[in-house]
Amino acid sequence: MNFFLNRYKEFGQTIDPEECQLKTSIRVNNLKIDDKTLVKRLKQRKITLAKIPWLDHGYYSESEFSAGSTQEYLQGYYYVQEAAAQVPAMILNPDKDDVVLDMCAAPGGKTCQLAQYMDNKGTLIALDNNKPRLASLKNNLERLGIANTLIYNLDAKYIDSLDVKFDKILLDAPCSGNFCTDRNWFGKRTIEGVKQKAKQQKDLLKAAVSALKPAGELVYSTCSLEPEENEEVIEWALETLGIELLPVELDAGSPGLTQKTSKCLRFWPNKDKTEGFFLAKLKKLV
């Protein structure tokens, strides 16, 4: 535990895991309802919503019961999603004319969010190699009324087997996670395990760039705080994959830890009051 906490101090972040209390946050599904109408309906159910200023349809939610237990939730009017996790799809910002890929899609929160930006049109392909998790993905797509998405039970490393080139790709990569959502995190994580996860992330990122059209855009994200899975992966990609780093423009978070990754975005739990998170926006050169 001290190893990870001490290295966070090296990055200027003094973190007490016991103080990491995440707020419940939701994302309005504007394919079914507008923000104003939903806020009014939930207020009648004694749910207080506070707009998250740096998100398009994100709100902090407070109530005496679960945010996933309302009629509005079951009707697909909103999705319960941590605030920082709503950023990658918003930064990718696909539209209805794009062919889009969500590489590690289940349980589907970001997939549904991508479909919102596409106005439920165009083509959205969602992959996951964990077949049982695809049930959650399918249920969320159905609940939120998503109709433009094709699902494949496929390891994203083999995306070339579909013989499709994409305008935009979201790679919310498998990662080591962080202590905000896993209270046993420090007992399970080692630096060796982090490095092994980074190798998997590089494999997926290489496959993603291969599947992009020239000048296509890709958002890479993790919910890990570890530089091996974030800045080091991006620096490797910049050196080897024929891509450039685009600025992530958002009035929240902090820059990446190195000069080469200063255009990336980090969320620190102690500073931003979200789970730990990292994202980078990339563009294929040729």
How many domains is the chain built from?
Answer: 2
Full DSSP string of the chain: -HHHHHHHHHTT----GGG--PPPEEEE-TTT--HHHHHHHHHHTT-EEEE-TTSSSEEEEE-SS-TTSSHHHHTTSEEE--TGGGHHHHHH---TT-EEEESS-TT-HHHHHHHHHTTT-SEEEEEES-HHHHHHHHHHHHHTT--SEEEEE--GGGGGGG---EEEEEEE------TTT-TTHHHH--HHHHHHHHHHHHHHHHHHHHHEEEEEEEEEEES---GGGTHHHHHHHHHHSSEEEEP---SSSEE-SSSTTTTSEEE-HHHHSS--EEEEEEEE--
Whether residue 252 is contained in a domain is answered as yes
Domain assignment of residue 227, yes or no: yes
Same domain? For 157 and 225 the reply is yes
Same domain? For 195 and 245 the reply is yes
Same domain, 51 and 126: no
Distance CA 175, CA 196 (A): 10
Residue 1 has pLDDT above 80, yes or no: no
Assess whether 165 and 217 both reside in one domain: yes
The residues that are catalytic are 223
- Cα–Cα distance between 198 and 193 in angstroms, integer? 9
Range of the structural domain that residue 181 is part of: 2-9+83-284
pLDDT at position 187 is 87
What average pLDDT does the structure give for the chain? 96
pLDDT value, residue 236: 98
Q: For the domain that residue 154 is a member of, what is the CATH number?
A: 3.40.50.150
Residue 16 lies in a domain: no
Closest CA to 266 of 212, 217, 229: 229
Looking at 81, 105, 124, the residue that finishes a domain is: 81
73 with 172, same domain? no
Neighbours of 163 (CB within 10 A): 7
Q: Does residue 14 fall inside a structural domain?
A: no
3-state secondary structure string across 139-156: HHHHHCCCCCEEEEECCH
pLDDT of 121 reads: 97
User: Which of 81, 97, 119 marks a domain boundary?
Assistant: 81
Tell me, what CATH number does 46's domain have?
3.30.70.1170
Residue whose token pair is 């994200």: 221
Type of residue found at 248: V
Please state whether the predicted TM-score (pTM) of the whole model is above 0.85. Answer: yes
Q: In this predicted model, what pLDDT tens digit does every residue of 209-245 receive, in sequence order?
A: 999 999 999 999 999 999 999 999 999 999 999 999 9
Q: What is the pLDDT of residues 123-166, one digit of tens each?
A: 999 999 999 999 999 999 999 999 999 999 999 999 999 999 99
For 118, the token pair is 């596409």
Residue at 18 is within a domain: no
58 and 163 part of one domain: no
**Residue 223 and residue 153 in one domain:** yes
